[in-house]
Amino acid sequence: MMIDRLEGRTFRTLLTVIEERSISKAAERLGYVQSTVTTQIRLLEEAFGRKLFDRLPRGVMPTEAGRKAAAYAQRILQLGSELEAELRETGEPSGPVRLRVLESFGAALLWETLQSFVSAYSAVELQLDTGFQSDTVEAVMNGQADLGIVPEDPSEAELSFEPLLTDELVWVASSQAAEAIDALGWEAVKPHKLIGFGSRCIYSKYAAEQLAAHHADCRGVIEFASAEMIKRSVEGGLGLACLPRLNVAKELAEEKLAECTVLGRQPLRYGLISLRRRELSRAAQLLREHVRGDFVSGRQDEVVIE
């Protein structure tokens, strides 16, 4: 069998070469001589019967087969880590658990939950990554994350979706701009720029769809990687944005931002996703229970949708 010809370290080498895009840099990072990395990649290519990398003038690039192999390599290594953690388990839960969330959700609502989890389970190694909905879904399905929190049900048969809380997308602008927009409607949007996370974000996607549906092209688009940057730029009058209410509740209450009510709202339902066919480690199970217990019982009432 093909698997009989493979070793765990070759999978780790494969992933490192992909991350570094270089044989020599991967060797340096792993503490190998370059020929060792080259040999391990060759053994993988012989085992798979496929070319895994294209050699470029400067570095390497994974082929389609290389990207597919990497997804399975990640899952195999993770299973090894989980097995090691389970065999070490003597009472107190330990080992790594990986959670991926939207930056806007994590910044607004997640810190207290994660702090209490880390305090309760100090031997667990919590790894937190951020990404858009599509990134999170892909990471969970490929085994790169144990759990994910997303703003809508991805409706994937392989994923379970456990609702956490409801929210809504609202249009916000500076007080002066919001007053004009509420008085004149979508026509008043045209002189402003649309500020958001970019086309990969479902918030920005919804905003773009609404603008197109009302034939209200903005004067341009500004993209930022963080909710704070978006809010500060909207406050400064650079444009308007479509964000979850939970992210702008404080600014609305302090009148630093104003809601453009005439533009409408879009319901959101955040939920926890995990891979159905995969049995979670004890640490991941505890994190899922901790998050669900905190949000379902304690946080649901924090976001009020009028």
Angle at 192 between CA 176 and CA 200, to 5 degrees: 125
Of 6-15, 41-50, 247-256, 267-276, the one with minimum mean pLDDT is 6-15
Q: State the pLDDT at residue 90.
A: 54
Q: How far apart are CA 149 and CA 152, in angstroms?
A: 9
How confident is the model at residue 241, as a pLDDT?
97
For the record, the structure tokens of 248 come out as 């702008």
Query: What pLDDT is recorded for position 279?
Result: 83
Q: Is CATH 3.40.50.300 the classification given to domain 92-166+270-302? A: no
Averaged over 128-136, what is the pLDDT? 91
> How confident is the model over 12-23, as pLDDT tens digits?
899 999 989 999
Place of tokens 């070793």: 7
Q: Grade residue 143 by pLDDT with cuts at 50, 70 and 90.
A: confident
Q: Cα 258 to chain center, whole Å?
A: 28
The pairing of strands 159-173 and 239-244 is antiparallel
pLDDT at 300 over 50: no
As a whole number, mean pLDDT of residues 296-302 equals: 53
Q: CATH 3.40.190.10 region(s) of the chain?
A: 92-166+270-302, 167-268
Residue 123 falls in which region: left (phi positive, over 0), alpha (psi -120 to 50) or beta: alpha
Both ends of the chain: CA-CA distance in Å?
60
Residues contacting 268, CB < 8 A, separation 6+: 151, 152, 166, 167, 168, 169, 244
**What pLDDT score was predicted for residue 302?**
46
Name the segment(s) of the chain with CATH classification 1.10.10.10.
Answer: 2-83
Q: How many CB atoms lie within 10 A of CB 48?
A: 16
Q: Average pLDDT of 88-98?
A: 74
For residue 216, the surrounding DSSP H or E stretch is none
Residue 303 pLDDT > 60: no
Q: Domain 167-268: give its CATH architecture.
A: 3-Layer(aba) Sandwich (3.40)
CATH class assigned to 2-83: mainly alpha
